[in-house]
Amino acid sequence: MITLTVFCLAVCTALKLVGSVNAEIKQLCTVLAVCLIAGRYFESFRDICSAVNGLFTQTGLDSDYLGIIIKSLGICYTTQIGCDCCRDSGEGALASQLELAGKAAMILIALPLFENAADIVSSLMQV
């Protein structure tokens, strides 16, 4: 984490210097830095997924839930990165719309969980 923090601070400092000269180069460097950082933590994400998968296997829970969790995390990260890039570019309205779309996608992904919860409540009420 320290290495990543130092990298981000170095990129921020370089962007301050470059940004005063050429805004397009600054945006390109920002996107490149974001991609490098994302690539770095996606490595760790693979290990996390295998650990969570092991937990699901040990507990006997339905593996469909794991898919929902992973898709939800992907939506969250992708939406957050996109919104941050839009806001950094001065496009607040576009970022807000992207957030709304991300929230709608999360609801769609979670619908099977809501259906299962409704089935459980319905079966408990019939007893």
Q: Give the pLDDT score at 16.
A: 77
Residues 77 and 16 in one domain: no
Give pLDDT tens digits for 32-78.
Answer: 887 888 777 777 777 877 887 787 778 777 777 778 888 888 899 88
67 and 53 share one domain: no
Domain that holds residue 95: 62-127
What is the widest separation between alpha-carbon atoms in the chain?
Answer: 72
Q: What is the pTM of this model?
A: 0.62
For residues 50 and 89, membership in a common domain is answered with: no
In this prediction, residue 105 has a pLDDT band, given cuts at 50, 70 and 90, of very high
Give the C-alpha distances (Å, rounded to integers) separating 19 from 13, 26, 82, 98, 111. 10, 5, 20, 26, 44
